[in-house]
Amino acid sequence: MPRVLLFDQNSVPQLFDTGQDALTQLSENRLAWVHLRSNDDVRSILPDIIDKSRGFTEDLLEEQRPRVALYPTTEDNEDTFSVIVLSMPTHKIFEQDEFQLQVTFILLDNKIYSVGSTEIGIFPEIMAKIQTRKMQHTISTLFKTILSELFEMGIEVMNSVEEFIDHTEGKQLKSNLERGWLASLLTLKSRLFDANKLIKADLEHVREIMEGEVPELDSEEVGDHPEDRLLYSIDYIETLREELSNIINLNIAISNQLMQKQFYVLTILGALLVIPTVISGLFGMNVPLPDLTFWQIILLMTILTIFFGLLIQFLVPRPTLS
């Protein structure tokens, strides 16, 4: 079901409505934003001056890398419209590899058409926020507001990842981790790497917009806020990946420490078993024993053990800290 945000003659948000009836209220001379879901009939909703061939409309929905492209209209003139494809991470980053939201924007005169690859509540929320604020907009400031809200959603996702990492660190220190937690962290680290690539691609095309390569948008009105949020997201993700690496390295260090403790205990037990082993070996031999009593033999073996222990300690060099 399409969602439509209509503006009045002063370009102030007037109405946020849903359904096909809302499309009939579009005015040719007024600003509007129409958001479509991936399962909407895109071909019937887009205006006639946009290419409605199956190849073009399917390309709007297919998964692809972020890009900016310019297309001629179907009218017999030099008019064009722009298509901007951007992707950002969603909370599905915890659940599956296909965690990104792809949004395709079609900019035509004073209209913005957007198509989301998945249906999430962010678009009605953005429309409701814009309508509530009652601020005057141009297509450039409207597009900037949409981008800023979408990028903020991506930052909120990273906040959730940070909370998850902090929670995992606490459980790790308490040795209260679930089975398979290390594999889940490695998977999350890989997904963060993919998210970083997407955001870097978004950054590249947002800079194209800032350089005036999208005719429908005024680069000065768009400003540098979307770029700043993307740069912040990139740094944020790098920090999170470092924290995940630290957790993984800490787990390896803890595992090595536990193993060393086990070897230490086993070494002590082995050393303690040396004396009874030697004594039992002496009494088990089929040869005449020295004319010593049992306790004299124990005393002799104890003295020899202490002597050779001190000798080994004297001969083996001690490790020094540099």
DSSP characters over 167-232:
HHHHHHHTT-PPTTHHHHHHHHHHHHHHHHHHHHHHHHHHHHHHTT-STTS-HHHH-SHHHHHHHH
Say what the pLDDT of residue 283 is: 65
Asked if 104 and 213 sit in the same domain, the reply is: yes
Asked if 218 and 153 sit in the same domain, the reply is: yes
What are the Cα distances from residue 149, in Å, to 18, 88, 114? 20, 11, 14
* 9 DSSP assignment: T
Say what the pLDDT of residue 321 is: 46
Cα atoms in the Cβ-side hemisphere of radius 13 Å centred on 216: 27
**Based on the structure, what is the number of domains in the chain?**
2
Judge whether 261 lies within some domain. no
Asked if 84 and 200 sit in the same domain, the reply is: yes
Pairing relationship of beta strands 80-89 and 13-18 according to DSSP bridges: unpaired
Residues 6+ apart with CB under 8 A from 225: 144, 148
**Beta-bridge partner residues of 83:** 69, 106
Domain hosting residue 111, numbered range = 3-255
Say what the pLDDT of residue 55 is: 77
Reading phi first (left if > 0) and then psi (alpha if -120 to 50, else beta), residue 288 is in beta
Asked if 175 and 89 sit in the same domain, the reply is: yes
Asked if 60 and 116 sit in the same domain, the reply is: yes
* 93 DSSP assignment: G
Asked if 290 and 224 sit in the same domain, the reply is: no
Asked if 225 and 100 sit in the same domain, the reply is: yes
Judge whether 84 lies within some domain. yes
Long-range contacts of the stretch 75-78 (C-beta < 8 A, 24+): 75/49
Mean pLDDT, each 10-residue run in order, the chain (322 residues): 88 86 82 84 82 78 84 84 91 87 89 82 89 92 94 93 86 70 86 93 93 91 93 95 86 75 76 69 66 74 76 66 44
Reading phi first (left if > 0) and then psi (alpha if -120 to 50, else beta), residue 26 is in beta
Say what the pLDDT of residue 317 is: 65
Say what the pLDDT of residue 307 is: 77
- CATH number, domain of 32, equals 3.30.460.20
Asked if 136 and 190 sit in the same domain, the reply is: yes
Judge whether 282 lies within some domain. yes
Host H or E run for residue 87: strand 80-89
Asked if 191 and 316 sit in the same domain, the reply is: no
Judge whether 54 lies within some domain. yes
Asked if 85 and 234 sit in the same domain, the reply is: yes
Judge whether 201 lies within some domain. yes
Judge whether 9 lies within some domain. yes
Nearest residue to 86 via CA among 184, 22, 153:
153
Judge whether 15 lies within some domain. yes
Judge whether 292 lies within some domain. yes
Asked if 230 and 302 sit in the same domain, the reply is: no
What global pTM score does this model have? 0.77
Asked if 29 and 89 sit in the same domain, the reply is: yes
Q: With beta carbons less than 8 A apart as the criterion, state whether 41 and 31 touch.
A: no
